[in-house]
Amino acid sequence: MVGRPSESARSLGLALRARCEEIAADVLSRWEKRRSDPTPATERIRDDVRRFCRSGTEQIAHYLIHGETASAEQTASQATPGRAAANQSVMLSDLVKMHLYWRDVVVEVLGEEADRLDSDPGALELAVRAVRVGSDSALVRVAKVFDAHRALLQSQLEEEQNRLSHQALHDALTGLPNRVLFLERLATSIEVAARRSIHSAVLFIDIDRFKSVNDIAGHAAGDQLLIGVARRLREVLRPADTVARLGGDEFVVLCENLYDVQKEAVAIAERVCATVAEPFSSTGTELFTSASIGIAFVRPGDDPHVLVARADSAMYMAKQRGRSRWELYHPDFDERTTRRAELINGMHRAVDRGELVLHYQPVKDLASGGVVAMEALLRWAHPSLGIVAPTEFIPLAEETGLIVDIGRWVLTEAATQCAAWRAEGYERIGVAVNVSGRQLEDPGFIHDVQAVLEATGLPASALSMEITESVIVTEGSIGHEVLEDLQRIGVRLAIDDFGIGYSSLAYLTKLPVHALKVDRSFIAGLGTAQDVSIVSAMVELAHKLGLEVVAEGVETEAELEQLKVANCDEAQGFLLGRPAPLDVLRERGVLGPDRLVARSLVERAD
Ligand code: C2E
Ligand code: CA
Ligand code: CA
């Protein structure tokens, strides 16, 4: 459209330019009256519309005056109202209406001016054509802007939807898939496995003693550890394997397409054990941990939940068998689960029904051979399952909290019995009871101990409480206060299973402890396979710290001899007397007159 404008067109252009403002105001008022969007237009939108009308009209005027289209700059400004309107969610139909009003108004004004100026018909025709072309191209631009804006909103919406669905299927801490997604993938895998005879395995991974990490190092460190574990799991597994966090310190892995399923699953489990056992140093301090793993194989027709439960019970077995190891699921494990449920159910009434029994094992003074105390060891005479060992039901009693009631019963029973022995003439005999961490946490514990001592008349110094090393270390500050209270009362404290936990002797000296019970693993084989030097060193150091040392689990004469060489104070074990109920003890005469002399020679440091 370049060429010399006629004189007529030029004056038409000048006239049009003079009425720019008026045209804009007219378009705006028509547009506002007829908008399809009933909410009032903001001042910004009205400004946009005004600006558009002005620049559109100016462009037509420019063309009529100069015979050329407006500069790119001016053209670009036409698109602005489109974008601004789109951003402010003015409907496209509204903008189209506005364009049409503008076109109508400009054409009307041109007609009026052409009449007034008496322009030649060619000039008016040219002007109207320019308006139509300008309007059409502006509309196309606005539509494009709208389209781009819509696409942007669409992709933002999709992103948000993805984020939400990711959130629903992933664990926020580690970013790993969660239980829902894992079970979904497992279900698919089971289906595929059935159709294509593919072998897959589920690994259930639990971090050993994770609670201690949280208790000792704090929750932030615990979280860092979980994040670290998640990262290492990803590193040692193939990209196609699914690693998920079920919650807490439990992770599951789905390994598909295994060729030799057992061999490969075990190899994966070993890799996981090894990587988790490496120290974690994300929080500045080094944390050591390990993993217990249960493995279950996917079989056609399996239920995903059942499969995870199988891997879980195999994991539980791995824990039972010493932690930091893996176990393959075996159907026998299910029986264990049933038994576990049966034990938990029955335990509620065990105390009331008198199903609990204490066996007693003598603790002997190594120098004189006399019995200095009896350790009370709990048994449960279950009505249908027979005698249940404490190693089996005490962890369950701890889980359910029933240990508090059970422990109170043990304490009362043992103190009563010890007072009775003393009344029978064994004036110096003491009694040792085992105490769980959960009992120490019970706010009524100290009160219970005092009440029992009062009721039985047993001197506090005759009562020894055995607390395992791991409990002392992990229970943190709650434990310490209680221990100090016990010391104030005068109760003796012994660290049970000493040597297998992580405490240092130096740490223990900060606690009001009287004795160490060296774990059986240090005693077994003394004099043959086991070197006595470790025990000797323990005894020497303990003595320097003012602690007595009791050796546990002495089974052979050789072990006994070595313990004497090591200068150990007291000992306990099958060799010196098996744990037995009261009637058997009486028959055996463990506390009989033949021992009286020896015992009376013993001076205990009360
Ligand atoms: P513990 O306190 O370390 O008790 C020693 C365990 O070793 C006892 O097992 C005892 O029967 C066994 N033992 C004693 N001498 C020998 C030996 O020469 N060789 C071998 N191989 N074993 C020996 P038991 O009675 O099955 O008790 C197991 C654990 O259950 C105890 O370990 C203790 O931690 C816990 N426990 C027992 N009674 C109670 C209780 O009343 N309350 C609490 N909280 N825990 C208890
Ligand atoms: Ca004990
Ligand atoms: Ca022990």
The string of DSSP letters for 362-419 reads EEEETTT--EEEEEEEEEEEETTTEEE-HHHHHHHHHHHSTHHHHHHHHHHHHHHHHH
For residue 336, the CA-to-ligand 3 centroid distance in Å is 25
Do residues 396 and 348 lie in contact, with contact meaning Cβ atoms separated by under 8 Å?
no
CA gap 536, 548 in Å, rounded: 13
Q: For ligand 1, is residue 555 a contact (CB within 6 Å)?
A: yes
Pocket test for ligand 1, best of 377, 584, 590 (most atoms within 8 A of CB): 377
CB atoms under 10 Å from CB of 345, counted, come to 9
Q: For ligand 1, is residue 436 a contact (CB within 6 Å)?
A: yes
What pLDDT, on the 0 to 100 scale, is given for residue 359?
Answer: 97
What pLDDT, on the 0 to 100 scale, is given for residue 599?
Answer: 38
CA gap 585, 411 in Å, rounded: 19
For residue 454, the CA-to-ligand 2 centroid distance in Å is 24
Q: 243-287, pLDDT tens digit by residue?
A: 999 989 999 999 999 989 999 999 999 999 999 999 998 667 788
Helix 72-87 / helix 121-169 crossing angle, nearest 10 deg? 40
DSSP 593: G
Give phi and psi for 24, each to the nearest 5. -60, -45
Q: For ligand 1, is residue 55 a contact (CB within 6 Å)?
A: no
Would you call 124 helix, strand, or coil by DSSP?
helix
Do residues 534 and 519 lie in contact, with contact meaning Cβ atoms separated by under 8 Å?
no
Pocket test for ligand 1, best of 357, 388, 431, 434 (most atoms within 8 A of CB): 434
Q: Which residue type sits at 320?
A: Q
What pLDDT, on the 0 to 100 scale, is given for residue 81?
Answer: 59
Going by C-alpha positions, the residue among 299, 120, 106 that lies closest to residue 197 is 299
Q: Which residue's CA is the nearest one to ligand 1's atom 11?
A: 579
Ligand nearest to the Cα of 376, by number:
1
CA gap 521, 500 in Å, rounded: 8
Contacts 24+ apart (CB under 8 A), 93-97: 93/36, 94/31, 94/35, 94/36, 94/37, 95/142, 95/146, 96/139, 96/142, 97/31, 97/34, 97/35, 97/36
Q: For ligand 1, is residue 507 a contact (CB within 6 Å)?
A: no
Q: For ligand 1, is residue 573 a contact (CB within 6 Å)?
A: yes
Cβ contacts of 459 within 8 Å, gap of 6 or more: 453, 490
Q: For ligand 1, is residue 394 a contact (CB within 6 Å)?
A: yes
Which of ligand 1's atoms lies nearest the C-alpha of 555? 18
Q: 192-239, pLDDT tens digit by residue?
A: 887 877 899 999 999 998 888 887 778 888 999 999 999 999 999 999
What pLDDT, on the 0 to 100 scale, is given for residue 303?
Answer: 92
For residue 285, the CA-to-ligand 2 centroid distance in Å is 32
Do residues 204 and 294 lie in contact, with contact meaning Cβ atoms separated by under 8 Å?
yes
Residues, CB within 5 angstroms of ligand 3 (ion): 496-497, 552
Below-70 pLDDT ranges, the chain: 1-5, 70-89, 282-283, 473-479, 501-506, 592-606
Do residues 556 and 524 lie in contact, with contact meaning Cβ atoms separated by under 8 Å?
no
Cβ contacts of 388 within 8 Å, gap of 6 or more: 343, 379, 380, 381, 382
Do residues 439 and 467 lie in contact, with contact meaning Cβ atoms separated by under 8 Å?
no
Task: Note the Cα 20 to chain centre separation in Å.
Answer: 68
For residue 65, the CA-to-ligand 3 centroid distance in Å is 106
Q: For ligand 1, is residue 597 a contact (CB within 6 Å)?
A: no
Q: For ligand 1, is residue 398 a contact (CB within 6 Å)?
A: no
Q: For ligand 1, is residue 496 a contact (CB within 6 Å)?
A: yes
CB atoms under 10 Å from CB of 157, counted, come to 10
Q: Which residue's CA is the nearest one to ligand 1's atom 13?
A: 553
Q: For ligand 1, is residue 434 a contact (CB within 6 Å)?
A: yes
What proportions of the chain, in percent to the nearest 5, are helix, strand and coil?
A: 60, 15, 25
Which residues are 363's β-sheet partners? 373
CA gap 309, 18 in Å, rounded: 84
CA gap 491, 418 in Å, rounded: 14
Which of ligand 1's atoms lies nearest the C-alpha of 466? 2
Q: For ligand 1, is residue 377 a contact (CB within 6 Å)?
A: yes
Q: For ligand 1, is residue 483 a contact (CB within 6 Å)?
A: no
Q: For ligand 1, is residue 404 a contact (CB within 6 Å)?
A: no
